[in-house]
Amino acid sequence: MELLVCIKRVPMVGGRIAVTADGLAVDTKMLGFTVSPHEECAVEEAIRVTERHGGSVTVLTLGPPEAAEQLRDALALGAHRAVLLETDGREWGPAATAAAIVAAIRDREATAGRFDLLLFGNEAADSADYQVGIRVARALGLPCVTAVKQLEADPAGGPEGAAGRLVARREHRGATEAFAVALPAVVTVKEGINLPRYPSLPGRMRARKAPLDTAAASFTPDPLERRKLRVPTSDRKGAEILGRGPDAVPALVDLLDEMGVLA
Amino acid sequence: MTVLCLVELDEGRVADASLRALRLARDLAGPAASLAVAIAPPADPAALGTEGPVLAELGDQGVATVLLLETDGLAPGAYAPAALARGLASATAELGAVLVLAPANTHGQEILGHLAAIADLPFVANCTTATWEEPGVLTLTRQRWGGSLLEDARLAAPAALLSVATDAVTPAPAVTPTTPTVLVHRYRVEAGELDVVATTEPGESGGVALSNARVVVSGGRGVGGPEGFGELEELARLLGGAVGVSRVVTSLGWRPHREQVGQTGTKVTPELYLACGISGAVQHLAGCQGARHMVAINTDADAPIMARADYAVIGDVSEVLPVLVREVRARKERAGR
Amino acid sequence: MSDIPTRASVVVVGAGIVGNSVAFHLADLGWRDIVLVDKGPMPNPGGSTGHASNFIFPIEYSRMMMELTRDSTRQYAELGVLTTSGGIEVARTEARLQEFRRRAGAATAWGIPSEMLSPEEVAKLVPYLDPNVILGGLHFPTVGVVDSLRAGTIFRDRATGLGALRVVAGVEVEGIEVAPRGATGRGPGSRVTGVRTSAGLIETEHCVLCGGVWTPRLARMAGTHLPLTPIVHQMISVGPVPLFADTVGEIAYPIVRDVDTNMYERQHGGDMEVGSYAHRPILVEADDIPSNEEAALSPTEMPFTQEDFDPQLAEAVELMPGLLGDEAVGIRYAINGLISMTPDGHPLLGETPDVEGLWSAAASWIKEGPGIGRAVAEWMTAGRSEIDVHEADVARFYPVQQTRQHVRARARESFNKMYGIVHPAEQWESERGLRVAPMYARELELGAVCFQTAGWERPQWYASNERLLATYGDRVLPRSGEWESRWWSPIVNAEHLAMRDACGLVDLTAFAVFDVTGPGALDALQHLAVAQMDVPVGKVVYTPFLDDAGGFKADLTIMRLGPAQFRVVTGAAHGLADRKWIVDHLPDDGSAVLTDLTSAWTTIGLWGPRARTVLERVSDDDVSHAGFPFGTCRTIEVDGLAVLASRISYVGELGWELYCPMESGLRLFDTLFAAGQPHGLVPVGIGVYGTTGRIEKGYRAYGNELTPDYNPVEAGMARPSVKTADFVGKEAHLGHRSAPPAATLCTLTLTDPRVGGPEARYPLGGEPILTTTGERIEDELGRPSYVTSAGAGPSIGTHLLLAYLPPALAVEGTELRVEYLGERQAVRVAVAGSTPLFDPTNERVRS
CATH number at residue B268: 3.40.50.1220
Which pLDDT score is estimated for C269?
Answer: 84
Interchain pair A202, C317: CB under 8 A = yes
C664 within 8 A of C641, measured Cβ to Cβ: yes
Interchain pair B302, C293: CB under 8 A = no
3 state SS of C771: coil
CA dihedral sign of residues A13, A17, A23, A27:
negative
The CA-based angle C357-C359-C364, given to 5 degrees, is 175
Same domain, B35 and B151: yes
pLDDT digits (tens, 9 = 90+) for C254-298: 999 999 999 999 998 888 999 999 999 999 998 899 988 888 888
Q: Kindly report the nearest CA distance between residue A98 and chain C, in angstroms.
A: 29
Interchain pair A228, B192: CB under 8 A = no
Q: Kindly report the nearest CA distance between residue C36 and chain B, in angstroms.
A: 14
CATH classification of the domain holding B19: 3.40.50.620
The CA-based angle A61-A64-A67, given to 5 degrees, is 50
Which chain B residue has the Cα nearest residue A197?
A: B251
Segment among C101-110, C499-508, C636-645 with least mean pLDDT: C101-110
**DSSP label at C843?**
T
Query: Is position B217 within any domain?
Result: yes
DSSP letters for A112-136? H---SEEEEESS-TTT--S-HHHHH
- How many Å apart are CA A7 and CA A16, to the nearest integer? 24
Backbone torsions φ then ψ of C21, nearest 5 degrees: -70, -45
> What's the Cα-to-Cα distance from A176 to each of A147, C548, C673, rounded to whole Å?
11, 79, 97
Q: Which percentage of chain C shows pLDDT scores above 70?
A: 99
Which residue from C2, C42, C293 is facing B300, i.e. has the nearest CB? C42
* B304 neighbourhood in chain C, CB within 8 Å: 41, 293
pLDDT digits (tens, 9 = 90+) for B116-158: 999 999 999 999 999 999 989 999 999 999 888 999 999 999 9
Interchain pair A245, B126: CB under 8 A = no
Same domain, B217 and B104: no
Range of the domain at B87: 2-186
Q: What is the CATH number of domain C84-136+230-341?
A: 3.30.9.10
Which residue from B116, B143, B320 is facing A249, i.e. has the nearest CB? B320
Backbone torsions φ then ψ of C82, nearest 5 degrees: -105, 130
* C1 neighbourhood in chain B, CB within 8 Å: 302, 306-307
- C578 a catalytic residue: no
Q: Kindly report the nearest CA distance between residue A124 and chain B, in angstroms.
A: 9
- How many Å apart are CA C821 and CA C756, to the nearest integer? 10
Backbone torsions φ then ψ of C220, nearest 5 degrees: -60, -35
- The helix, strand and coil proportions of chain C, stated in percent and rounded to the nearest 5, come to 30, 30, 40
pLDDT category, B101, cuts 50, 70, 90?
very high
3 state SS of A101: helix
Helix axes B106-119, B81-95, angle to 10 degrees: 60
* B313 neighbourhood in chain A, CB within 8 Å: 241-245, 248-249, 252
Which chain C residue has the Cα nearest residue A72?
A: C306
Which chain C residue has the Cα nearest residue B281?
A: C293
Which chain B residue has the Cα nearest residue C170?
A: B302
- How many Å apart are CA B281 and CA B287, to the nearest integer? 10
C290 within 8 A of A30, measured Cβ to Cβ: yes
Domain boundaries, chain C: 10-52+148-227+344-403, 84-136+230-341, 512-597
C51 within 8 A of C335, measured Cβ to Cβ: yes
Q: Kindly report the nearest CA distance between residue B302 and chain C, in angstroms.
A: 6
Contacts of B56 (CB under 8 A, 6+ apart): none
Which chain C residue has the Cα nearest residue B306?
A: C1
The domain total for chain B is 2
A71 within 8 A of A19, measured Cβ to Cβ: no
Which pLDDT score is estimated for B337?
Answer: 58
Same domain, B13 and B140: yes
Helix axes A68-77, C306-319, angle to 10 degrees: 30
pLDDT digits (tens, 9 = 90+) for B159-200: 999 999 988 899 999 999 999 999 999 999 999 999 999 998
- C233 a catalytic residue: yes
- How many Å apart are CA B310 and CA B301, to the nearest integer? 13
pLDDT digits (tens, 9 = 90+) for C171-202: 999 999 999 876 555 556 799 999 999 999 99
Which stretches within C396-516 are classed as H helix?
399-402, 404-415, 440-445, 468-472, 482-485, 490-501
User: Which chains have 3 or more CB–CB distances shorter than 8 Å to chain B?
Assistant: A, C
A219 within 8 A of B236, measured Cβ to Cβ: no
B100 within 8 A of B5, measured Cβ to Cβ: yes
3 state SS of A226: strand
Mean pLDDT score, B62-91: 93
Which pLDDT score is estimated for B152?
Answer: 98
Contacts of B31 (CB under 8 A, 6+ apart): none
pLDDT surpasses 80 at C660: yes
Best of C42, C153, C333 to mutate (most B CBs within 10 Å, chain B): C42
pLDDT category, C22, cuts 50, 70, 90?
very high
* B282 neighbourhood in chain C, CB within 8 Å: 293
Interchain pair B314, A172: CB under 8 A = no
Class of the C512-597 domain?
Answer: alpha beta
Q: Which of C258, C260, C393, C555 is catalytic?
A: C555
Contacts of C676 (CB under 8 A, 6+ apart): C503, C505, C606, C610, C614
pLDDT digits (tens, 9 = 90+) for B274-314: 999 998 876 788 788 778 899 999 988 777 788 789 999 99
In the CATH scheme, what architecture does the domain C10-52+148-227+344-403 have?
A: 3-Layer(bba) Sandwich (3.50)
Interchain pair C295, A14: CB under 8 A = yes
pLDDT surpasses 60 at C838: yes
Chain C interface residues (partner A, CB cutoff 8 A): 1, 238, 288-297, 302-307, 310, 313-314, 316-317, 324-332
pLDDT digits (tens, 9 = 90+) for A170-221: 988 778 899 999 999 999 999 878 888 999 999 999 999 999 999 999 999 9
Domain boundaries, chain A: 2-216
Which pLDDT score is estimated for C184?
Answer: 56
How many cross-chain Cβ pairs, B to C, lie less than 8 Å apart? 15
Q: Kindly report the nearest CA distance between residue A151 and chain C, in angstroms.
A: 23
Letter for the amino acid at A188? T
- How many Å apart are CA A215 and CA A100, to the nearest integer? 11
Which pLDDT score is estimated for B274?
Answer: 96
C804 within 8 A of C732, measured Cβ to Cβ: no
- How many Å apart are CA A181 and CA B41, to the nearest integer? 19
Domain boundary residue among B186, B221, B237? Answer: B186
Same domain, B148 and B182: yes
* B281 neighbourhood in chain C, CB within 8 Å: none
pLDDT category, C1, cuts 50, 70, 90?
very low
Chain A interface residues (partner C, CB cutoff 8 A): 12-18, 29-33, 69, 72-73, 197-205, 208, 238
Which pLDDT score is estimated for C234?
Answer: 96
Best of A30, A40, A69 to mutate (most C CBs within 10 Å, chain C): A30
* C316 neighbourhood in chain A, CB within 8 Å: 201
Best of B118, B144, B271 to mutate (most A CBs within 10 Å, chain A): B144
C558 within 8 A of C541, measured Cβ to Cβ: yes
CA dihedral sign of residues C695, C698, C699, C703:
positive
pLDDT surpasses 90 at A127: yes
- How many Å apart are CA C176 and CA C174, to the nearest integer? 7
> What's the Cα-to-Cα distance from C507 to each of C425, C669, C687, C690, C720, rounded to whole Å?
19, 9, 12, 12, 33
- How many Å apart are CA C239 and CA A198, to the nearest integer? 9
Determine contact: C3 vs chain B, CB below 8 A.
Answer: no
Mean pLDDT score, C434-444: 98
Q: What is the CATH number of domain A2-216?
A: 3.40.50.620
Query: Is position B261 within any domain?
Result: yes
Which pLDDT score is estimated for C224?
Answer: 93
Segment among B68-82, C305-319, C347-361, C749-763 with least mean pLDDT: C749-763
Which residue from A95, A226, A239 is facing B311, i.e. has the nearest CB? A239
Which residue from A72, A73, A203 is facing C327, i.e. has the nearest CB? A203
pLDDT digits (tens, 9 = 90+) for C704-729: 999 999 999 999 999 999 999 999 99
User: Which chains have 3 or more CB–CB distances shorter than 8 Å to chain C?
Assistant: A, B
Same domain, B172 and B214: no
- How many Å apart are CA C505 and CA C514, to the nearest integer? 23
* B126 neighbourhood in chain A, CB within 8 Å: 128
Count the neighbouring beta carbons within 10 Å of the beta carbon of residue A195: 14
- C3 a catalytic residue: no
